[in-house]
Structure 1
Amino acid sequence: MIVRMAGMADVAALAELRDVAPGDLAAFAGWLAAHAQTHLPFVAEIDGHVVGAAWLHVAQRVPGNGSLDRWYGDVQSVMVREECRNRGVGAALMAAILAEARVRDLLHVTVHSGRRAVDFYLRNGFSHHRQILLWEPAAP
Structure 2
Amino acid sequence: MIVRRASVADVAVLAELRGIDAEKLKAYGDWVAAHADTHLPFIAEMDGHVVGAAWLLVAQRVPSNESLDRWYGDIQSVQVREEYRNRGIGGALMAAILTEARTRGLLHVTVHSGRRAVDFYLRNGFRHHRQILLWEPGPS
TM-score if structure 2 supplies the norm length?
0.98
The percent of aligned pairs where both chains have the same amino acid is 76
The question of 1:130 aligning with 2:130 is answered: yes
- 1:66-105 matched pairs, under 5 angstroms: 66-105=66-105
Q: Which amino acid aligns with 1:85?
A: R
Match of 1:7 in 2: 7
Alignment root-mean-square deviation, CA: 0.8
Uncovered stretches (5+) of structure 1, i.e. residues with no partner: none
TM-score if structure 1 supplies the norm length?
0.98
**1:40 Cα shift?**
0.1
Match of 1:59 in 2: 59
Uncovered stretches (5+) of structure 2, i.e. residues with no partner: none
Q: Which amino acid aligns with 1:67?
A: S
Distance across 1 between alignment mates of 2:139 and 2:114: 20
Distance across 1 between alignment mates of 2:96 and 2:126: 14
**1:139 Cα shift?**
4.0
**1:137 Cα shift?**
1.4
**1:37 Cα shift?**
0.1
Structure 1 residue runs of 4+, over 6 Å off?
none
Distance across 2 between alignment mates of 1:41 and 1:34: 13
